[in-house]
């Protein structure tokens, strides 16, 4: 990566103005540059004005804003919203290597976990050890969906594309011939993270089916 080399050389030339943390800052900046590539990972759904496909960075930002606004719908009493925000911000970084896997793509989902673990090893492995451990922990928590925070983050991760698909007359659903039952099956996990948001989501799904955005069973 030429641009990394240039940045690093530049840092080293004036290394006397930086303290012993230079090696640490280097790793952090390399990671910040590397994750820029997530802006080029395209998702199946369109942005809401239908002009183009959404990318994974846009999806992640949208989830983070939703976390700020909708955490009150998580049923847990002691709920760490900050951890939700962190999880959703980083949950798709593995797609830089593993690509985005459409939730209704059966074959693609078979080796998804394996591809993503390899990606996490390379990408989180760029970070200083403590931050590497933190990112791994956040990503594993998100994937395992055992804590209230991870369940809520997972709920947002399903609700946001549902809003995009509904707002674009079901574009991605139509292109892939997705059925109402599949959408219910893949999205009912919203309920464990945020029951009220699942009420809302199932209402949206029914309306989507009524309007012909989803195929009949």
Q: How far apart are CA 180 and CA 212, in angstroms?
A: 10
Asked if 62 is part of the footprint of a second copy (rule: CB under 8 A), the reply reads: yes
Task: Specify the residue, 89 or 117, whose C-beta has the smaller distance to a second copy.
Answer: 89
Q: How far apart are CA 90 and CA 29, in angstroms?
A: 16
For residues 62 and 156, the answer to whether their CB atoms sit within 8 Å is: no
| Tokens read off for 101 | 């896997």
Q: How far apart are CA 101 and CA 126, in angstroms?
A: 23
Stretch that binds a second copy, among 32-40, 109-117, 170-178, 184-192 (CB under 8 A): 32-40
Per-residue mark of binding to a second copy, 129-168 (x: CB under 8 A): --x----------------------------x--xx-xx-
For residues 211 and 204, the answer to whether their CB atoms sit within 8 Å is: no
Asked if 179 is part of the footprint of a second copy (rule: CB under 8 A), the reply reads: no
Asked if 118 is part of the footprint of a second copy (rule: CB under 8 A), the reply reads: no
Asked if 187 is part of the footprint of a second copy (rule: CB under 8 A), the reply reads: no
CA distances 162 to 39, 50, 133, Å, are 21, 14, 32
- For residue 183, which phi and psi values (nearest 5 degrees)? -65, -40
Per-residue mark of binding to a second copy, 7-26 (x: CB under 8 A): x--xx-xx--xxx-x---x-
| Tokens read off for 191 | 């309920």
What does the binding site for a second copy look like in residue numbers (CB under 8 A)?
Answer: 3, 6-7, 10-11, 13-14, 17-19, 21, 25, 28-29, 31-33, 35-37, 39-40, 47-49, 51, 54-55, 57-58, 60-62, 64-66, 68-70, 73, 82, 85-86, 89-90, 127, 131, 160, 163-164, 166-167, 196, 199-200, 203-204, 206-207
């Amino acid at each position: 990566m030429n641009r990394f080399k240039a940045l690093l050389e530049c840092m080293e030339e004036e290394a006397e103005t930086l303290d012993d943390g230079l090696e640490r800052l280097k790793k952090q900046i390399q990671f910040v540059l590397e994750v820029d590539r997530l802006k080029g990972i395209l998702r199946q759904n369109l942005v809401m004005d239908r002009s183009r496909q959404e990318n994974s960075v846009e999806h992640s930002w949208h989830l983070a804003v939703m976390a700020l606004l909708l955490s009150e719908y998580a049923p847990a009493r002691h709920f760490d919203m900050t951890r939700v925000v962190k999880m959703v911000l980083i949950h798709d970084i593995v797609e830089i290597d593993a690509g985005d896997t459409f939730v209704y793509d059966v074959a693609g989902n078979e080796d998804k976990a394996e591809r993503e673990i390899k990606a996490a090893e390379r990408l989180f492995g760029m970070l200083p050890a403590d931050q590497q451990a933190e990112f791994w922990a956040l990503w594993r928590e998100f994937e395992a969906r055992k804590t209230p925070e991870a369940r809520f983050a997972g709920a947002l991760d399903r609700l946001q594309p549902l809003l995009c698909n509904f707002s674009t007359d079901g574009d991605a659903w139509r292109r892939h011939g997705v059925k109402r039952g599949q959408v219910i099956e893949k999205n009912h996990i919203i309920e464990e993270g945020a029951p009220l948001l699942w009420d809302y989501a199932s209402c949206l799904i029914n309306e989507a089916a009524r309007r012909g955005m989803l195929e009949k069973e």
